Amino acid sequence: MFAGFLTIGLFICFLGRIMFKPIVYIVSMSIVTSLILVIAYNTFLLTNTKSWVGWLTIGLAILAGLAAGCCVIRIIRVAIFVVAAWGGYAFALLIYNAFMYKMNSEAGFWCFTVGVGLICGVLSLCFWNHILIHATAFLGSYMAIFGIGIVAGRYTNPFTVVEMIKNHQISSVDPVFYAYMAGNLVLYAMGMLFQYRQKNGNPDHDPYEYGKRY
């Protein structure tokens, strides 16, 4: 898992614009597969469920993710929206984990993270080059640092931090997380600058096949 997050994260961070189509496929597949599995594990996949049902569900989720990737990549407006929204969602997760977890509200968590993702998705339809460079640089940096956090430890999970505080397992976000956050921002800046350098060095190349504006 660590190698996967780190490799894919760095790939998206530095090559988000130039390798747009493969990244669209990866992101779309990941979103659909994850969504199906989350729904499954919160509905019918219980602890007493037979193992073959679990493996069948995982297989079907992956197949659905692959199909979604094939469909999204053919509709460039949707592809741009999805990647930008996912990058915005990653940014919102980092901000929530660092500061906004104090809201202590599950509804607030989803409204904030999904809201930021949707805003980035909408903005990308008008300013796709800039929004996608920033979104992919941030998404990639987030994935890479998260992968490092899995191995190094003390990376606070944004999906469980409020519950852990309620259960008195922790009193606040681990201060080490802010070191991860700093690394996330530095890597994002490096990826963003690298992508802008690629864009400025070859201004006529349109990896989105979506026109040369912006």
Please check the confidence at residue 46 and state whether its pLDDT lies above 80.
Answer: no
| Interval 68-125: pLDDT, tens | 888 877 888 888 888 899 899 999 999 988 888 877 777 888 899 999 999 999 998 8
pTM flag (> 0.85): no
Please check the confidence at residue 214 and state whether its pLDDT lies above 60.
Answer: no
From the number of C-beta atoms within 10 Å of its C-beta (0-12, 13-18, 19+), residue 191 rates as buried
Going from N- to C-terminal start, the domains of the chain cover: 2-201
Map tokens 């197949």 to a residue.
Answer: 63
| Interval 155-198: pLDDT, tens | 877 777 767 766 767 777 888 889 999 999 999 999 999 999 98
Residue 123 tokens read as 């903005």
